[in-house]
Amino acid sequence: MRRVLVVDDEENIRLVLKTLLKRNGYDVEVADSGEAALALVDSFGPDVILTDVRMPKMGGLDLLATLKAKQNPATVIVMSAYGSVDLALEAMKAGAYDYVGKPFKADEIVLALRKAEERETLRRENRALKEQITKESQFESILARSESMTTIFRTITKIADFKTTVLIQGESGVGKELVARAIHHRSARKNQPFVPINCGAIPENLLESELFGHKKGAFTDANSDRRGLFEEADGGTLFLDEIGELPLNLQVKLLRALQEESIRRLGDSRDVKVDVRIVTATHRDLAAEAKAGRFREDLFYRINVLPIAIPPLRARKEDINLLVDHFLAKNNARLGTQIRAVNPEARKLLLEYSWPGNVRELENTIERAMVLCDGDVIGSQDLPERLRDALDPVQVQLASGELSIKKTTAAIEEILIRRALQKTRGNRTRAAELLEISHRALLYKIKDYSITDL
């Protein structure tokens, strides 16, 4: 960070700073206004901009806002002879790195630049470390470092080149299609088509034609021959998502296609040979479905040769921070936002939440928080209320499964007493008023619950 742009409407200040900084080894340019500084930014490419706050037309804070809107990476340090805590806070909130009051000592300016340089070095090292962690934790397009997911990655590597059918099981939103794509891209078929279909998203009367194709005139509106997805995937991989939704009559035809490695279009009298690797996925318990007669047992055994069970996100919380950082970077690029972090309190909420919607819910939650965030750091207030409720002691108690009214009432009563005492900073008289009980009753309850740590 050796390039410094000095912006000040006072010529003597510009001269003093230019001389001082050159003497300390910096490459320096000067500008007498915010407008002139903007004209120099692209050509000079400063690492640091040292700007006065009050200047005619465009002041330092306006310059800072313009640079931020243009996503210019320069570190901005503001100076002002009208020093005040409020002005310094305003500058820092606007994105300035530091604030120096006028008149300043030479050492102050040099120290501020060196601090900025150290911070930028740490940021670069941190960014490089994050990129390295991401690289080491990425398998195809899947990000994870938990042991359970690492085991799945090893399994994918082992089975990828075999044509054997794979059944991927897991809750909605865990990334079953990503695993299916990873199997395809790790296989010798990677340069051939990967064709996905959601068996539950297509009407039953169209699904057979979608899978196997049809001949002209096979049914009303069949105005021409049409290849099905099996033929589209020839040489590659056909991914049958939510296979548990497949109607029983089509399960018979799918089983035949798997056994014979051929299909027959609707309305056709001849079979067509196909070379397709079948990968299936479901959120259902297909073994239970087969026993209940809702899924063919013979088809279940045929597709369940190589099962992969993806654990829910709540069972691999060590992946959450990695995914959060990935979604921040992804959405900053996609949405044009400049969110740089999630604060510790919000991180705790993200880690403690159960994520019933899994990775998909986490991604949507981060995008929502980034859109609603007023600054450049996501706080707990930017997260949905359901996440905040997840850590609320009353909600935790109610969700514990305890059915005893006596035990639950006592637990919640203790929580409310502790809250009241915290709010009143230990003032028991005021706490009793908030709790709407007598002072004497509160003293008894404090003793009963052994509340001594307030």
Domain boundaries, the chain: 2-131, 147-309, 313-390, 393-449
DSSP state of 296: -
- Please give the pLDDT value at position 263: 93
Question: What is the C-alpha separation between 296 and 228, in angstroms, rounded?
Answer: 23
Residue range 277-291: average pLDDT?
A: 95
pLDDT at res. 280: 97
Average pLDDT over residues 335-353: 89
How confident is the model at residue 82, as a pLDDT? 66
Under the banding of pLDDT at 50, 70 and 90, the label for residue 376 is confident
**pLDDT cut 70: percent of the chain above it:** 93
* pLDDT category of residue 393 using cuts at 50, 70 and 90: low
SS3 of 292, please? coil
Residue 452 pLDDT > 80, yes or no?
A: no
Q: Tokens representing 354?
A: 């159960």
The answer, yes or no, to whether residue 374 has pLDDT greater than 60, is yes
Greatest mean pLDDT among 218-232, 258-272, 280-294, 433-447 lies in: 280-294
- pLDDT tens track for 200-216: 999 888 898 999 988 88
Gap between the Cα atoms of 232 and 212, Å rounded: 10
Name the CATH superfamily housing domain 147-309. Answer: P-loop containing nucleotide triphosphate hydrolases (3.40.50.300)
**Closest listed residue to residue 184, CA positions, set 211, 167, 210, 162:** 162
Q: Is the fold of 2-131 the same as that of 147-309?
A: yes
- pLDDT band (50, 70, 90) for residue 231: very high
- DSSP track, 364-431: HHHHHHHHH-SSSEE-GGGS-HHHHHHT-HHHHHHTT----HHHHHHHHHHHHHHHHHHHTTT-HHHH
CATH for 313-390 is: 1.10.8.60
The arithmetic mean of pLDDT across residues 412-419, rounded, is 84
pLDDT over threshold 90, residue 453: no
Neighbours of 276 (CB within 10 A): 24
Provide the pLDDT confidence category of residue 279 given band limits of 50, 70 and 90.
very high
> What pairs with residue 237 in β-bridges?
194, 277
Report residue 338 as tokens: 């400049």
Contact 75, 116 (CB under 8 A): yes
Q: Given pLDDT bands bounded at 50, 70 and 90, which one contains residue 394?
A: low
Q: Where are the beta strands (DSSP E) in 53-210?
A: 75-80, 98-101, 138-139, 142-143, 166-169, 194-198
Q: How far, rounded to the nearest angstrom, does the alpha carbon of residue 401 sit from its chain's CA centroid?
A: 30
Please state which of the ranges 93-102, 128-137, 188-197, 224-233 shows the lowest mean pLDDT. Answer: 128-137
Beta-carbon-side half-sphere exposure of residue 100 (alpha carbons within 13 Å): 23
Closest CA to 75 of 101, 59, 96, 54: 96
The residue to which tokens 């300035």 are assigned = 96
What is the architecture, at CATH level 2, of domain 393-449?
Orthogonal Bundle (1.10)
CATH number, span 2-131: 3.40.50.2300
Average pLDDT of the chain is 87
The pLDDT of 402-429, averaged and rounded, is 83
Which whole-number Å values give the CA distances from 341 to 126, 332, 344, in the listed order?
12, 11, 9
Dump pLDDT digits (tens) for 34-82: 888 998 888 898 999 999 888 888 888 888 888 888 888 888 988 887 6
pTM of the predicted structure, to 2 decimals:
0.65
Q: Which of 152, 150, 154, 157 is nearest to 183 (CA)?
A: 157
d(CA 57, CA 35): 8
With cut-offs at 50, 70 and 90, classify the pLDDT of residue 83. low
**Which segments within 121-236 are labelled E, that is strand?**
138-139, 142-143, 166-169, 194-198, 213-214, 226-227
Q: Which helix (H) or strand (E) holds 262?
A: strand 262-263
User: Any idea what the Cα angle at residue 76 is, between residues 73 and 82, rounded to 5°?
Assistant: 160
Residue 276: predicted pLDDT: 96
pLDDT of residue 119: 81
Confidence of residue 331 (pLDDT cuts 50, 70, 90): very high
CB 106: neighbour CB atoms within 10 A? 14
Over residues 40-49, the pLDDT tens digits come to: 888 898 999 9
Q: Structure tokens of 262?
A: 């051929």
Average pLDDT over residues 283-289: 94
pLDDT grade for 300, boundaries at 50, 70 and 90: very high
Residue range 404-414: mean pLDDT, rounded:
82
Q: How confident is the model at residue 222 (pLDDT cuts 50, 70, 90)?
A: confident
| CA–CA separation, 54 and 12 (whole Å) | 16
Share of the chain above pLDDT 90, in %: 46
pLDDT score at 72? 85
Structure tokens belonging to residue 417: 């007493």
